[in-house]
Structure 1
Amino acid sequence: MVISKTASDSDVSVHSTFASRYVRSSLPRFKMGESSIPKEAAYQIINDELMLDGNPRLNLASFVTTWMEPECDKLMMDAINKNYVDMDEYPVTTELQNRCVNMIAHLFNAPLRDSETAVGVGTVGSSEAIMLAGIAFKRKWQKKRKAEGKSVDKPNIVTGANVQVCWEKFANYFEVELKEVKLREDYYVMDPVKAVELVDENTICVAAILGSTLNGEFEDVKLLNDLLIEKNKKTGWDTPIHVDAASGGFIAPFLYPELEWDFRLPLVKSINVSGHKYGLVYAGIGWVIWRTKEDLPEELIFHINYLGADQPTFTLNFSKGSSQVIAQYYQLIRLGYEGYRNVMENCCENAIVLREGLEKMGRFKIVSKDNGVPLVAFSLKDNSCHDEFEVSDMLRRFGWIVPAYTMPADAQHVTVLRVVIREDFSRTLAERLIIDITKVLHELDALPAKISAKINGVEKGLNGTVVKKTVLETQREITDVWKKFVKARKTQVIC
């Protein structure tokens, strides 16, 4: 048998019980070892640690695809060593990307003439796609302002406070002011009227979200387009729209084909979508499509020839794998319009099962909408005794990862739980989750209620003054206190 090292060594060394038949000594955790170890040992050591990760299928926080057909898995593994950027060496992969761009452009009703190719590019996800779209808007705005002899010092983008963090990253990295439309209780998406009011001559675009991360709701892009057209007429500006369809871009065309949100609206100049969300591909693929060639400034496209033939490129990344592009093409031709519609309809049906189960409990208020991304966002009607963070924490005991979070300004007093319904979340799993949530509520009801002073976020300072804490600080502190209480009750030893 292997004699264990002292506990003080555990934070700097990696140990593996099963690997002892191959290697007996521990490995340094944060430095490379001096010598090689057998491949079996390396595999087992890593595999043992990975078992402690959550189950991706039960990760209901994520929109990202966690299951694909074995045939597609095989295609991805066969292409794992192909560099996506090397177009001369791998021309077929390049052709598949172009086919995907054109299929998605047609899906989004791009105004393409016969035999005209679409303008777009594959990315590692919607974050990179948004960066590229934002750069294009900023450059076009700068060129127009310079031609008019005007300042280019203060560009801004108008969004809702519900945007994903990648928009904040873009604004920070590329020095663009982010003008956010605040939310309010029971209205958790950007108000088009307020958004247009924030538009000024320095606005490079208005970003609309087709599928809010917070509650799955689609923003009203049609109303935004109409209001912005009127403002552009009055002011002489030509402020455009970008649609962040990361989650909803592969949903709306199949479930709500009559909904006008895409290139049918004249001010929509670019759209991003995540292939690794409802495009049904594993993490690592996104797309950005421009309305016309004129909407992507030519000077942003680089031409290289040191990998072979002349290769135009417009990406933030350079080398990356080809597997996800191939997988996206597989899904598009394998499923077709009918297949994608069936998947999305099934997701919506399972979301209804979960929503109705929660409503029957009588303890939750449903925050998500019927039309939108298939997810269920919900809050406790009464969280005076126990809150959503505690429900989230206790569900992890059953293996479920259900996030709890507070809404952005000015609805930060609202706390929400959210379950994302993906293709691999079956009706059976929905029913099982309902049962486990019921168990959690029963267990919470048996626990002591939160201290009233902490509920109100009020504590005494050192000098006797009253200190008012933020809602988030209070919720975190309450959750920490509750965790310590539960841990203290776990005195039983399992043999």
Structure 2
Amino acid sequence: MSLHKHHVQHDAMVLDPAFDGGVGAIPKHRLPRTTQEAGAAMRFVRDELMLDGNARQNLATFVTTWMEPEAQALIQMSLEKNIIDKDEYPQSAEIERRCVNILANLWNAPAPTGGTDAVGCSTTGSSEAAMLAGMAMKWRWRARREAAGQDATRPNIVMGANVQVCWEKFARYWDVEARLIPLDGATHLTAAQAAAACDENTIGVVAVLGSTFDGSYEPVAGIAAALDRLQLDTGLDVPVHVDAASGGFIAPFLDPELPWDFRLERVQSINSSGHKYGLVYPGVGWVLWRGADSLPADLIFSVDYLGGSMPTFALNFSRPAAQVIAQYYVLVRYGFAGYRRIQQRSRDIALYIADGVGKLGLFTLFSRGEELPVLAFSLTTPDTWSVYDLSHELRSFGWIVPAYPMPEGMAGVDVLRVVVRNGFTYDLAEAFLADLAKSVERLSGKAPARVAFHH
């Protein structure tokens, strides 16, 4: 009874009458009985949001936290447009098509798809894109099995234990066995592990270009080569999907000689997040296929478009065109040179932070920002405090830095991860390193090695 009274007493948030500007008691979990003045309601909600963390100090997220005012204006003027309504908003549909073709060329899709007729679509993010790519792999595998008169009821998908959870969701939602390969002391899947886990029921191997655990690239070319050898030895033809959620907007600009994309014939599909290193606010993602043969026709729906028919393949039938338009803006605005400059700066700052972390003399670095602009580090020797304590201590300075265990195969290893994105400056990096040193001193009772953090 007392618990019930407690909830009733705290079900409303009451503002001081001198401040509320027309807003009185607002129920937390029920619709207010009266209408509120717009400005007062905005202030009320804005004050609630003050409790959120500062996005610029959020070193946990890969998601874009800064865009130019011009991009924000385009987003604002496009919020009411539904991207699926291609007949009502034909130019938005055309902009989506242009983005797909730009990415197809960036990721070296073969002609003719690498020209102006690429096969792909926008999504709400890489999670939806992964679902679509996984569905295409399953449908193609099933069609081959059924055509050969073979059992098609036990599909599996091979991936490292370091994959993003969206792939585990795909496997569960679409009734596919998830073969999560332990990392065996490495930080990502190896080519030998990938090939060894495949059999006649494998719909595909997922290779990650930029692990969320430490930012490292998996050896996509090596995995593809191992699967080539597997086909020569056994006849098994296993496709590769590249989860380039972050790396798809990093590698083309900073590692152009690295073969990871459609230059590898075994790569059938690629996904990436426009709202990560694509430099767009959430949420927009992209999924592309090597060509029409890689995307089963029975997964594609036809939508009338300018008196003709436009194919569409997505899970969501209502979502704003705004982020797609914003993606086109940044592609046009920055171009290849601009993206390269922005991503290189992020990598340089990550390397600078990694150097500062190393100088403290307390941590082992698993990555330094040499691939994704991401670094992960653990305590070198056990102490009376942990990386979880350090993560909590950094919060007192406003820094959001996640601490977590590494995946299966690296049991007992707990790390902190720092993600550097566009908008994070050398000055902020210098402030972070100074606060990191102060946090270590608070926890241990003694200052770490004296280090001057200057870029």
Q: Distance in 2 between matches of 1:245 and 1:85?
A: 24
- 1:316 Cα deviation from its structure 2 partner: 0.5
Q: Distance in 2 between matches of 1:397 and 1:411?
A: 30
* Alignment match, 1:408: 407
- 1:67 Cα deviation from its structure 2 partner: 0.4
Instruction: Please state whether the residue corresponding to 1:249 is helix, strand or coil.
Output: helix
Report the AA paired with residue 77 of structure 2: D
Equivalent positions of 1:244-283 (< 5 A) are 244-283=243-282
* Alignment match, 2:130: 130
TM-score (norm 2): 0.94
- 1:310 Cα deviation from its structure 2 partner: 4.0
Residues 299, 361 of structure 1: alpha-carbon distance in 2 compared, 3 angstrom cutoff: same
Query: 2:216·2:371 contact (CA, 8 Å) conserved in 1?
Result: yes
Instruction: Deviation per CA, 1:30-70: give whole Å up to 9, x if none.
Output: 11112211112211110110000001111100000000111
* Alignment match, 2:191: 192
Query: 2:23·2:40 contact (CA, 8 Å) conserved in 1?
Result: no
- 1:11 Cα deviation from its structure 2 partner: 2.8
Q: Distance in 2 between matches of 1:195 and 1:43?
A: 52
Query: 1:18·1:44 contact (CA, 8 Å) conserved in 2?
Result: no
* Alignment match, 1:359: 358
Query: 1:211·1:372 contact (CA, 8 Å) conserved in 2?
Result: yes
Query: 1:181·1:191 contact (CA, 8 Å) conserved in 2?
Result: no
Equivalent positions of 1:389-400 (< 5 A) are 389-400=388-399
Instruction: Deviation per CA, 1:357-412: give whole Å up to 9, x if none.
Output: 11111011111155310011111112331100000001001000000000111212
Query: 2:13·2:25 contact (CA, 8 Å) conserved in 1?
Result: yes
Within the alignment, does 1:34 sit opposite 2:33 as a pair?
yes
Query: 2:354·2:368 contact (CA, 8 Å) conserved in 1?
Result: no
Q: Distance in 2 between matches of 1:375 and 1:21?
A: 43
* Alignment match, 1:317: 316
Structure 2, unmatched stretches of 5+, are 447-455
Q: Distance in 2 between matches of 1:18 and 1:125?
A: 43
Q: Distance in 2 between matches of 1:76 and 1:370?
A: 31
* Alignment match, 1:147: 147
Count of residues paired in the alignment = 441
* Alignment match, 2:86: 87
Equivalent positions of 1:188-267 (< 5 A) are 188-267=187-266
Equivalent positions of 1:327-342 (< 5 A) are 327-342=326-341
Q: Distance in 1 between matches of 2:230 and 2:334?
A: 42
Report the AA paired with residue 423 of structure 1: N
Q: Distance in 2 between matches of 1:206 and 1:167?
A: 11
Equivalent positions of 1:365-404 (< 5 A) are 365-404=364-403
Residues 146, 372 of structure 1: alpha-carbon distance in 2 compared, 3 angstrom cutoff: same
Q: Distance in 2 between matches of 1:320 and 1:131?
A: 17
Residues 352, 107 of structure 1: alpha-carbon distance in 2 compared, 3 angstrom cutoff: same
Query: 2:75·2:325 contact (CA, 8 Å) conserved in 1?
Result: yes
Mean Cα deviation higher: 381-390 or 113-122: 113-122
TM-score (norm 1): 0.86
Identity across matched positions, percent = 47
Residues 132, 19 of structure 1: alpha-carbon distance in 2 compared, 3 angstrom cutoff: farther
- 1:311 Cα deviation from its structure 2 partner: 4.2
Q: Distance in 2 between matches of 1:264 and 1:33?
A: 58
Residues 392, 115 of structure 1: alpha-carbon distance in 2 compared, 3 angstrom cutoff: closer
* Alignment match, 1:50: 49
* Alignment match, 1:423: 422
* Alignment match, 2:449: none
* Alignment match, 1:452: none
Report the AA paired with residue 87 of structure 2: D
Q: Distance in 1 between matches of 2:399 and 2:444?
A: 20
Q: Which has the larger radius of gyration?
A: 1
Query: 1:16·1:44 contact (CA, 8 Å) conserved in 2?
Result: no
* Alignment match, 1:110: 109
Instruction: Deviation per CA, 1:275-325: give whole Å up to 9, x if none.
Output: 000000001000001001110011101124599864432100011101100
Equivalent positions of 1:3-82 (< 5 A) are 11-17=10-16, 20-23=19-22, 25-82=24-81
Residues 378, 294 of structure 1: alpha-carbon distance in 2 compared, 3 angstrom cutoff: same
Structure 1, unmatched stretches of 5+, are 1-5, 448-495
Q: Distance in 2 between matches of 1:149 and 1:209?
A: 33
Report the AA paired with residue 164 of structure 2: Q
Q: Distance in 2 between matches of 1:149 and 1:24?
A: 68
Instruction: Deviation per CA, 1:322-372: give whole Å up to 9, x if none.
Output: 110011001111111100000011011111111111111101111115531
Mean Cα deviation higher: 155-164 or 343-352: 343-352
Instruction: Deviation per CA, 1:127-155: give whole Å up to 9, x if none.
Output: 00000000000001111100111111110
* Alignment match, 2:453: none
Residues 31, 225 of structure 1: alpha-carbon distance in 2 compared, 3 angstrom cutoff: same
* Alignment match, 1:119: 119
Instruction: Please state whether the residue corresponding to 1:157 is helix, strand or coil.
Output: strand
- 1:184 Cα deviation from its structure 2 partner: 3.2
Q: Distance in 2 between matches of 1:308 and 1:19?
A: 59
Query: 1:156·1:176 contact (CA, 8 Å) conserved in 2?
Result: yes
Q: Distance in 2 between matches of 1:19 and 1:293?
A: 64
Query: 2:100·2:121 contact (CA, 8 Å) conserved in 1?
Result: yes
* Alignment match, 2:157: 157
Mean Cα deviation higher: 378-387 or 144-153: 378-387
Instruction: Please state whether the residue corresponding to 1:223 is helix, strand or coil.
Output: helix
Residues 164, 21 of structure 1: alpha-carbon distance in 2 compared, 3 angstrom cutoff: closer
* Alignment match, 2:452: none
Report the AA paired with residue 134 of structure 2: G
Query: 1:60·1:421 contact (CA, 8 Å) conserved in 2?
Result: yes
